[in-house]
Amino acid sequence: MLLAEDGTLGVDDWHHLGDDDPVPASGLVTVSFARWQLDEGTLRVRADKLGLRLPNTIEPKDIASDLDRFALIILNFPKFTDGRAYSQARLLRTRFHYKGELRADGNVLRDQLLFMRRCGFNSFVVGERAIKENWAKAFSEFDVFYQQPTDGQGPWVMRQRLSPRNP
């Protein structure tokens, strides 16, 4: 099940291709980073959108030149305590200006959703509990933040606060 950043729940309409599966002629597919390296030529000529599953050990700069080819990048949290994908997400958004869907997969917990969205994720692979417990609420627990926004929208607090305090 997929949670979108606007709080709506939906189903995943992508097909996640195994490394040994044949590449279908059409349809939405994601491939692993290893498969992308191996079959880049075949994958590039397909007309339909392509997604990439990037392990948290690969640096975003290693795929920077291919980003325009991907409509979806899936980053992984093998354990919720392993926070490497937060840095990957922020770099993809701010340094490499990736504009497509950025999805969090793995050990995605309700109380990490806001951190994830703040780093640039906009979809989240979640379990059945998300429906029962209304996880969408997690996005609105805060409306003020001390850090600069990842999407470059809106001012950073250390600039914004100057005006009312010190007109």
Partner 1 sequence: MYRYDDFDHRFIDERVAQYRDQVRRRLAGQLTEDEFRPLRLMNGLYLQLHAYMLRIAIPYGMLDSTKLRKLAHIMRKYDRGYGHFTTRTNLQLHWIKLEETPDILAELASVEMHAIQTSGNSFRNTTTDPFAGVAADELEDPRPYAEIIRQWATLHPEFSFLPRKFKIAICASKEDRAAVKMHDLGLYLHKNEAGELGFEVVVGGGLGRTPYLAQSVKKFVPRRDVLSYIEACLRVYNRYGRRDNLWKARIKILVNSLGPAKYAEEVEQEWLASDREAIAIPESYIAEIAAAFAPPDYDRSPVDEAALERAMAANPAFARWVRNNVHPHKVAGHAVVTISLKEVGKTGGDITAEQMEVVADLADELSFGEARVAYEQNLVLPYVRRDKLFTLWQRLDAAKLGTSNKDLVTDIICCPGLDYCGLATARSIPVAQRIAKHMAAKEDAIGTFNIKMSGCINACGHHHLGHIGLLGVEKNGEEVYQITLGGDAGHNSAIGTIVGPAVKSDDVPAAIDTLIGIYMKLRQDGERFPETYRRVGQAPFKEALYAPR
The residues binding partner 1 (CB under 8 A) are 59, 80-84, 86-87, 90, 94-95, 109, 111-112, 114-116, 118-119, 133, 141-148, 150, 156-159, 161-162, 164-166
**Of the two residues 1 and 114, which places its CB atom closer to partner 1 in the complex?**
114
**Of the two residues 44 and 97, which places its CB atom closer to partner 1 in the complex?**
97
- Rounded-to-integer distance, Cα 127 and Cα 15, Å: 18
| Residue 63: CB minimum distance to partner 1, A | 15
Greatest CA separation for the chain: 63
| Residue 53: CB minimum distance to partner 1, A | 19
Task: Judge whether 59 and 79 are in contact, CB under 8 Å.
Answer: no
Of 75, 128, 80, the C-alpha closest to 103 is 75
- Beta strand residue intervals within 5-99, DSSP E: 9-10, 15-16, 29-32, 50-54, 70-77
**Of the two residues 28 and 109, which places its CB atom closer to partner 1 in the complex?**
109
| Residue 18: CB minimum distance to partner 1, A | 27
